[in-house]
Structure 1
């Protein structure tokens, strides 16, 4: 089976690269001539002309970001590189450009106006692949440009860059724990432990701590890297590259859904937004009916309580930032239910709008600050930058793992193996290990999200203060069976903002980015019912196969409707969705949400509907793919977390979820892993009595 260091990927030719750069330059170019002068005239207040001009003149190509663009394309799966390469090859010829764009002439030699018309034609095409290509290339250009640490961009749009407090006394008040990591010599390494845990996030961290405290020798293997406190720059581009899967450029099979997943020491707990919501009881009852009565037992509640106590989860110290306060106010005026979102911040106030790039202050209680420390204090050992290829299995029992660190082989012998590599990589490890249960890789849930925006006269600065502290459940039960959407407020930094803005032409997009500090996004988080699956590519790595179902689209549509109403009730001057063909609605301040024109707008939004090919869909939660259940015909895991096929092989992460949690899954992942760790301890007790 191939491992990442062995995989040979195709690369773009020089002609294909020229086409790629011409495409991204179409989306984010240098503004010149009258276009430049109009931009400066419209936004200048007499004191900021120099900054405006620098921003307008900044572009992908003249800011030397072309190499970054090419690197991101080359980080894609081989089949995607080949698919894009075919398109780029055609566009490098006159006839190919005529066929794909309706204009005669190789794409790089066309004027920007001609190229603009071509990419716009793709975005409105009846052919789905063209629409996805347009969106993917626009997102690639926008994220690369607006996440880069360009002073011209930051000054132009009024963004402070990395957190201004990052070198304050607050930073020096708390230090990160230190970890020692096993390094593999050139000849390889062979180790023996009682338990090997694959993954260091909410699942792996808890399992490692619990089993180490029980007196077992534990090895934690993490494919990501552990960054020192001083290495967390809180810069967007640097954080995406260091801390996220595939540099933040992960996507589903057709590129229509952008997916964020942690890939660092502490996993997703290092980059999440502190939201610590308990699994709703109606979901616990649903899971119990699937052969898992543990989830409605006092024992499971005890696991939840244990986690809450260790992380000091509470909502007592929340100070809502302006956008979260506006969410609450809009809901109050409409009579919608609201609540605070408890935070895993150690029982302290936590104002950290940059937490998605790592908590430099050490206030967020991810596993690197808590459970991995517990594991370390009880003798656990650790490996970073280490990719687990497969589980060793003998006579139907797991007996260790084979892994690679910088191409050097490690064989770890262990009595028990706990795979906590996340819902994308856990099923891939099991499949590479030869497990055949049909549910391994199936039932992938992503909590697909959509954004709705409101523009306010006042400054919102949706990257300042605490992230995601308020919620409304007004749309959580769209189908009457527990499926719908939660509405929350995201942290909105330039890269994320740029992806969800409509693109009509280069100047218009930059104009919209100028308004970022006055924009408030609301996030529609769908509890998806249908799901997708994980498959294995030719390189041995996982592929995300997921399409938004009609049922789940309706859940998002209802959430969008409520978001628009909330924003208008909160005082927005204009509101809009991510639908490509729908213009913003200008609010009549006298009539507000009672305006007949607004009601027509809502009806229009509902009529258009939602799909991943006509709106921007993203995801930051991955669940399922190795679900627990009451029988091997309906699940991949026993109620104890052990696989049905292989003894002593456990899964303890969000991949074990039977269905989508419907709330931010971090706390559920922690508590589920804690429960599974108790089952593993009991298995030792049972064995000792035999």
Structure 2
């Protein structure tokens, strides 16, 4: 094991050189950046305007009023000069903003690039501009004030096309600004890593290397495993320790703790499927899926919940009795013991809101077990990789154990297809073939123009093939390999999540501390059949929290973003009943997800949002945003004073936004309420009215969007060949010697973060594969 490296920050990873000229014309880029400039422009006092075409002016009185409001809302407000400097920032003048925007465009699919290009071209014509803006003047030539008004009109249009079009630009501008603006980071205090950063010990992997050449390189093994994530890593340890010769391949690369956590730009480039920008076909669901050495276990949030009894029974009722057996329970316990799963995580403010708020409301909430070996792990950056190495995911625990037992590894290996025995026509899997891409001479990845980078066709011959590429990629590999089972790629579950965020009258710094250390389970069985929602805290990185924060005007959004350090982020995560599918993009083969949350599942998500709002309110939130189109934020009109059983922190918001109307002018710490105000709890008439609006509006709009970090079910396990893709032991129904061992085999949604379930199933499948190999050896 390597000794810790004494560093104050992770080693930065350079991004590949980005070439944007092949995508859009100069005119299209100008139109795009004209829109982004109107969303987050430079805002200056009218007497200080230096560029009237590219600055949005406000009066000195407006600026002073905005600053006073900011001071009332923040415990640590910036100075007036710093405040004006922040408003003055113009993102499109920042080369990092421009480059990151172009990189985001470069990473989307060919079809989406084409669609966006058409829109940009149309907006730059007289007729197109007339339809979109009401003026014959091309959009990029209109004034900043007019462009802001146009964007506001799109937001309020009845025809869904316009607000949905606008939202794509809003999200792009906000996310990129929050990632690249140094002054925002300075004022908010946000850092991508902890103040006392010190990298943990990383395992010294020795990946197989191949010389340059045009001929196919051949490797042999007992078992080849495609994927190094939670399923593949467990299989590797079990099979190697059982004495089998194992090769694990992954299209992703390994990054040691000294390079983690990564910046958002690097994490998107190196750690996530689709560069972190995956969306469903209808764009209703944004997805995050790990695509690196260690897979999802490298970027998940440490949550280690075991599969619940009602789901185990549901799966057993489908003829899969293993899930109610002691063997399955032993497997989950064995998994948890190896990773040191405990409840020792220290909750930060966001997670305390769930625990304490649930207690006050009579709901059930509990600590969420963490796979951190008993360490407190007070870190909010694991979505970008765990620099402390305390999170005992695949690359820290399972794969090192497999290596020590003799497993061999190949990173950067994109598998084309599974090979079958063609000589006998038996349909028996005998290996895989794909393309291996080297690192450059400096050990960097994705640097196609660097010296030393080359590609080589590699074939791995094996007695057994285990596919563990994840729910999005495993079915695509089976299809590319010629399998015809109609269930392949179908039965996709996503655990879609809807979000709420809130501000509190405290200096929270919510990005510090474990992301997910508590969970409320009172709403997990809303239909009596195990479908419902869990309430959880979520990632607090600004580009994840605020990219969906409502935009009503440029000034409003910039002011709201300043309150980031006093915000908390929550999700209502549904165990979805209804499904979608995944298939290959015809242009480049990447996974395409066709999934729209059903009305049934949206209703459950809405119940969860209402519950989260109550948790936030009872814990003293001063403003609550539902992110539901058409629903304004709730602003608390009066402070709530601490009281046993009902007590919440003193807080008031005087900004006057939202359904609650203008503030009452109560100053910080002023207990200007009577006993009835204290006793009413969540029965505040203003809050009740806002909840009614929330419920009435609902999540039925096509503009409603959801997040997803769990994908399951596309190679479903079944008791009969006609009902799924793999049998009860993970063997593909259509082929001998071919297995799937990842979350794609789940018979339905797990209802909990899927890591432990995934690993326990992989453990079971791997043990069965080992027994099968032993039987063959005995016969020989």
Which interval holds the TM-score relative to the shorter structure? over 0.9
Is this contact kept in 2: 1:441–1:533, CA < 8 A? yes
1:369 to 389, 396, 416: 396
- Paired residue secondary structure (1:405): strand
1:399 to 430, 438, 442: 430
1:275 Cα deviation (Å)? 0.5
CA pair 261-129 structure 1, distance change in 2 beyond 3 A: farther
1:14 to 26, 29, 45: 26
- Paired residue secondary structure (2:266): helix
Is this contact kept in 2: 1:90–1:97, CA < 8 A? yes
1:160 Cα deviation (Å)? 3.6
Give a deviation string over 1:278-303, Cα, whole Å, max 9, x none. Answer: 01110011111122111111111111
1:111 to 143, 157, 165: 143
Partners of 1:78 and 1:651 lie apart in 2 by 30
Is this contact kept in 2: 1:261–1:620, CA < 8 A? yes
1:23 Cα deviation (Å)? 2.1
1:237 aligns with: 265
1:161 Cα deviation (Å)? 4.4
2:563 aligns with: 515
2:202 to 169, 176, 187: 176
2:193 to 162, 186, 193: 162
CA pair 688-255 structure 1, distance change in 2 beyond 3 A: same
2:113 aligns with: 81
Question: Are 2:485 and 1:437 aligned?
Answer: yes
1:42 aligns with: 66
Partners of 1:247 and 1:645 lie apart in 2 by 33
Partners of 2:739 and 2:36 lie apart in 1 by 45
Q: Give the number of equivalent residue pairs.
A: 676
Question: Are 2:380 and 1:353 aligned?
Answer: yes
2:602 to 543, 553, 559: 553
1:651 to 740, 749, 752: 740
CA pair 512-99 structure 1, distance change in 2 beyond 3 A: same
- Paired residue secondary structure (1:413): strand
Is this contact kept in 2: 1:585–1:598, CA < 8 A? yes
Partners of 2:736 and 2:132 lie apart in 1 by 54
1:470 to 501, 513, 518: 518
Is this contact kept in 2: 1:337–1:472, CA < 8 A? yes
Partners of 1:561 and 1:508 lie apart in 2 by 25
Question: Are 2:94 and 1:94 aligned?
Answer: no
CA pair 101-385 structure 1, distance change in 2 beyond 3 A: farther
Question: Are 2:212 and 1:186 aligned?
Answer: yes
Question: Are 2:341 and 1:298 aligned?
Answer: no
Alignment of 1:595-610 (within 5 A): 595-610=684-699
Partners of 1:251 and 1:494 lie apart in 2 by 20
Question: Are 2:145 and 1:142 aligned?
Answer: no
1:99 Cα deviation (Å)? 2.2
Partners of 1:32 and 1:9 lie apart in 2 by 33
2:706 aligns with: 617
Alignment of 1:262-281 (within 5 A): 262-281=290-309
Partners of 2:147 and 2:286 lie apart in 1 by 25
CA pair 128-443 structure 1, distance change in 2 beyond 3 A: farther
Partners of 2:466 and 2:741 lie apart in 1 by 7
Is this contact kept in 1: 2:100–2:265, CA < 8 A? no
Is this contact kept in 2: 1:9–1:78, CA < 8 A? no
1:76 Cα deviation (Å)? 1.1
1:382 Cα deviation (Å)? 1.0
Is this contact kept in 2: 1:232–1:239, CA < 8 A? no
Partners of 1:615 and 1:14 lie apart in 2 by 33
Partners of 2:583 and 2:606 lie apart in 1 by 29
1:383 aligns with: 410
Give a deviation string over 1:85-124, Cα, whole Å, max 9, x none. Answer: 1111111212112223433221211222222233333334
1:304 Cα deviation (Å)? 0.5
What is the root-mean-square deviation in Å for CA atoms of aligned residues? Answer: 2.0
Give a deviation string over 1:586-613, Cα, whole Å, max 9, x none. Answer: 2343244112332222121111111473
CA pair 59-497 structure 1, distance change in 2 beyond 3 A: farther
TM-score by length of 1: 0.94
Partners of 1:619 and 1:309 lie apart in 2 by 28
- Paired residue secondary structure (1:68): helix
Alignment of 1:569-580 (within 5 A): 569-580=618-629
Is this contact kept in 1: 2:190–2:511, CA < 8 A? no
Partners of 2:247 and 2:66 lie apart in 1 by 60
2:275 aligns with: 247
Partners of 1:210 and 1:629 lie apart in 2 by 23
1:272 Cα deviation (Å)? 0.9
1:10 Cα deviation (Å)? 7.0
1:3 aligns with: none
CA pair 82-457 structure 1, distance change in 2 beyond 3 A: same
Give a deviation string over 1:214-269, Cα, whole Å, max 9, x none. Answer: 11111111111111222225423322322122222111112232111111111111
Give a deviation string over 1:492-545, Cα, whole Å, max 9, x none. Answer: 121112123101122211111111121122211111110110011112222111
- Paired residue secondary structure (1:642): coil
1:54 aligns with: 85
Give a deviation string over 1:543-582, Cα, whole Å, max 9, x none. Answer: 1111010010011011011111111111212222001211
Is this contact kept in 1: 2:192–2:261, CA < 8 A? no
- Paired residue secondary structure (2:722): coil
Question: Are 2:313 and 1:285 aligned?
Answer: yes
Partners of 2:264 and 2:143 lie apart in 1 by 32
- Structure 2 portions without partners, runs of 5+: 1-19, 47-56, 72-76, 438-454, 641-676
Is this contact kept in 1: 2:540–2:569, CA < 8 A? yes
Is this contact kept in 1: 2:223–2:464, CA < 8 A? yes
2:442 aligns with: none
Partners of 2:134 and 2:243 lie apart in 1 by 69
1:345 Cα deviation (Å)? 0.2
1:228 aligns with: 256
- Paired residue secondary structure (2:721): coil
